[in-house]
Amino acid sequence: MSIRQLTQQILSELTHNSQYIDDAELESLVTVIRQANHIFLAGAGRSGIGIRGLANRLMHLGFDVSLVGEISSPHTKAGDLLIVASGSGETGSLVSLANKAKLAKVNIATVTMDRESSIARLANVVVMLPGVSPKLKNQGINITSIQPMGSAFEQLCFLVYDAVVLSLMAEMSETSESMFTRHADLE
H helices present in the chain, as ranges:
3-17, 23-35, 45-60, 92-103, 118-122, 151-172, 176-180
**How far is the C-alpha of 135 from the C-alpha of 40, rounded, in Å?**
25
Contact 128, 115 (CB under 8 A): yes
Longest alpha-carbon distance in the chain: 52
Q: Annotated catalytic residue: which of 90, 154, 171, 177?
A: 154
Residues paired with 41 in a beta bridge: 67, 83
Q: Which of 57, 44, 60, 39 is nearest to 154 (CA)?
A: 44
Closest CA to 155 of 38, 2, 13: 13
The counts of H helices and E strands in the chain are: 7, 5
Any catalytic annotation for residue 154? yes
Q: Which residues are catalytic?
A: 154
